[in-house]
Amino acid sequence: MPLSPDDFYTHALAAADQEQRLPLARMTGWDVSPFEAEGLRVSRLRPPVVPEPERHGEDPAACSSCTRRDEGIWLDEHWRLTRIGGVGVPLVLMLHPRDHHDLDDLPDDRAAELGVLTTHLARHVEALPHISRCHVYRIGDGGAHLHVWLFARPEGQAQLYGSWLVVWDDLLPEYPSDVADADAARVADALVASYGGHRGTAG
């Protein structure tokens, strides 16, 4: 039988110390970890909160993504692409449906488009100079309107491999905005050529 929220919490606490702190994650021992294990400690595990608080945009009338449905560096009838500023890696893009959908209620035809679009975007990001990989993430805990993150990993930075990339991004100094703008424009132009749609004017 699946664990209830309280059962899950009790199960997790069985592995914690007297201060309700779990052991350090195995990931902190990886050579790509941005943190040295010595001196680190895990935050106390807090009890569950049920029901969970609403995410932003649960009510489409109050969804900020819906109010910006015509904004982006690239758009077509169903999708828009934006550039996220203030990041440490070379480029972070976000793909949004223009209509109010989350992943679990995305119609099949939009879901098929999402797969094709994500593939095109990954190709175009990885074709940029000095970019080795395009990491793709869908999390969805903060916003109810589907948004897919695309992170460009810089070439040669072996410590930025894998799932630690988003943490490194938060630690790195801000990447030059003019360079990121030019790379984002290059990706948008390539997407117009390979997939269709048109260039937008706002990130």
Residue 9, pLDDT > 80, answer yes
Helices (H) and strands (E) in the chain, counts: 5, 6
Higher pLDDT, 123 or 30: 123
pLDDT at 202 over 80: no
CATH architecture of the region 68-199:
2-Layer Sandwich (3.30)
Query: Percentage of the chain surpassing pLDDT 90?
Result: 93
- Looking at residue 76, its pLDDT comes to 98
- Give me the mean pLDDT over the 125-130 stretch: 98
| pLDDT tens per residue across span 31-41 | 999 999 899 99
Which of 137, 130, 126, 114 has its CA nearest to residue 195? Answer: 114
Q: In this structure, are residues 146 and 106 in contact, taking their beta carbons and an 8 Å threshold?
A: yes
Strand positions, DSSP E, the chain: 74-75, 79-83, 91-97, 131-137, 148-154, 198-199
Q: Of 165, 152, 144, give the one whose Cα is nearest residue 121.
A: 152
Mean pLDDT of 177-200: 97
pLDDT mean over 168-181: 96
Task: Locate the domains of the chain by residue range.
Answer: 1-52, 68-199
The pLDDT of residue 201: 81
**84, 72, 80, 75: which is closest to 100 by C-alpha?**
80
Instruction: Please give the pLDDT value at position 130.
Output: 97
Quote the pLDDT of residue 203.
Answer: 63
What does pLDDT average to over the chain?
Answer: 95
Whether the Cβ atoms of residue 126 and residue 193 lie closer than 8 Å to each other: no
pLDDT the model gives residue 1: 85
- Could you check whether the bond before residue 51 is cis, i.e. omega within 30 degrees of 0? yes
Q: What is the largest CA-CA distance in the chain?
A: 59
**What mean pLDDT is predicted for residues 184-190?**
98
Which burial class, exposed, middle or buried, applies to 67 when counting CB atoms under 10 A from its CB (0-12, 13-18, 19+)? exposed
